[in-house]
């Protein structure tokens, strides 16, 4: 038999969720504000970089602390994004189930949640990682919210190119958490993610072109033809793979990383060229193939970044 609870009006409604159910539902709504699937990808780039920075297994408590701080930081930025974009999220089909659209979280609650998680993330990284990691976290939140969401997103088709810099910050945060400084290796890793972001996101914008057009967000797929988008995906994919190979001499990467970067990069390029070939011909295109391939590619490259120092086989020239 279903439990019955009293409503504020004093009536009893059979089957209404109890206190525990309401708490879980509210917690789930707050979690959705953070866009956890996006955070997963960011964390994939953080832990391997920490292994590379330590030239072996770093302090596991430091890794945990950095991942917690990075999760809070990214969650704060994404919650701010949901708050600022709530007007267009109500119109776009892809985003109509977000908590601020459904009413699962109120506007003021979302804004408070974004501020609190942001402040906590910075303080957490300052005390449990390094001050530089905390400063980079603050910069990432500010850049994503102020530069990308509030300035670039609704004004220029280059929004993803420059706005994507915020998504590159976890590699710098991970390196800074271990070393307390930065060097050329994390800069190259930053470049990999920076160059990867457009060929990752532009296929998604092709898939949801009508959605973005309905709210006047000038994604490249909206303001330019699919041939242009396909060509840009190819060019950025080539630049991404080239940057990934540049890490070999800069960070003295071994055979494992070199093989994974080369083979996964070749596959990423193949899928990008397939998209372009379809785009220049009339007929159906499948942009989501490149979108999913890009996620797998980045995951493989950064797994190799983390495993290579543990199983280091130097390249013999």
Residue extents of the structural domains in the chain: 34-179, 183-312
The answer to whether 156 and 147 are in contact (CB under 8 A) is no
Domain 34-179 fold: Tetracycline Repressor; domain 2 (1.10.357)
Please, what is the average pLDDT of the chain? Answer: 90
The answer to whether 83 and 111 are in contact (CB under 8 A) is yes
- Read off the pTM: 0.90
Note the pLDDT tens digit of each residue in 151-178: 999 999 999 999 889 989 999 999 999 9
Q: Work out whether strand 4-6 and strand 12-14 pair parallel, antiparallel, or are unpaired.
A: antiparallel
Kindly give the residue spans of alpha helices, DSSP state H, lying in 57-143: 60-84, 86-89, 99-102, 107-128, 131-142
Tell me the CA distances in angstroms from 201 to 194, 206, 270, one per residue in order.
Answer: 11, 9, 17
The answer to whether 77 and 117 are in contact (CB under 8 A) is no
| Three-state DSSP state, 13 | strand
The CA distance from 289 to 82, in Å, is 26
CATH class of the domain comprising 183-312: mainly alpha
User: Averaged over 283-289, what is the pLDDT?
Assistant: 87
Confidence of residue 317 (pLDDT cuts 50, 70, 90): low
User: Averaged over 276-280, what is the pLDDT?
Assistant: 92
The CA distance from 310 to 306, in Å, is 7
The CA distance from 199 to 303, in Å, is 20
- By C-alpha distance, which of 239, 178, 197, 257 is closest to 41? 197
Note the pLDDT tens digit of each residue in 125-144: 999 999 999 999 999 999 99
The answer to whether 111 and 82 are in contact (CB under 8 A) is no
Q: Which of 6-15, 40-49, 53-62, 180-189 has the lowest mean pLDDT?
A: 6-15
- By C-alpha distance, which of 295, 300, 293, 260 is closest to 274? 293
% of the chain exceeding 70 in pLDDT: 93
């Amino acid at each position: 038999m279903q439990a019955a609870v009293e409503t504020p009006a004093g009536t009893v409604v059979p089957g209404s969720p109890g206190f525990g159910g309401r708490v879980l539902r509210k917690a789930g709504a707050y979690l959705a504000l953070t866009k956890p699937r996006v955070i997963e990808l960011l964390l994939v780039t953080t832990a391997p970089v920490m292994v590379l920075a330590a030239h072996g297994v770093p302090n596991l408590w430091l890794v945990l602390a950095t991942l917690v701080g990075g999760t809070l930081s990214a969650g704060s930025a994404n919650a701010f994004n949901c708050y600022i974009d709530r007007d267009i999220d109500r119109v776009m089909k892809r985003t109509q189930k977000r908590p601020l659209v459904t009413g699962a979280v109120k506007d003021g609650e979302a804004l408070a949640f974004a501020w609190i998680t942001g402040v906590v993330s910075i303080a957490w990284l300052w005390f449990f990682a390094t001050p530089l990691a905390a400063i980079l976290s603050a910069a990432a939140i500010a850049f994503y919210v102020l530069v990308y969401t509030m300035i670039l997103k609704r004004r220029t088709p280059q929004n993803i190119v420059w706005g994507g810099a915020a998504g590159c910050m976890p590699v710098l945060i991970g390196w800074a958490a271990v070393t307390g400084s930065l060097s050329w290796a994390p800069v190259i890793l930053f470049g990999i993610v920076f160059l990867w972001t457009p060929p990752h996101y532009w296929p998604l914008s092709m898939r949801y072109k009508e959605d973005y057009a309905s709210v006047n967000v000038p994604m490249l797929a909206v303001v330019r033809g699919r041939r242009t988008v396909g060509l840009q995906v190819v060019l950025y994919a080539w630049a991404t793979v080239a940057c990934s190979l540049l890490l070999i001499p800069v960070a003295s990467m071994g055979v494992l990383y070199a093989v994974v970067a080369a083979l996964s990069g070749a596959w990423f390029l193949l899928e990008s060229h397939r998209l372009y070939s379809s785009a220049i011909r009339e007929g159906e295109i499948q942009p989501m193939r490149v979108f999913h391939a890009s996620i797998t590619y980045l995951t493989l490259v950064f797994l190799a970044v983390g495993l290579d120092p543990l199983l280091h086989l130097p390249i013999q020239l």
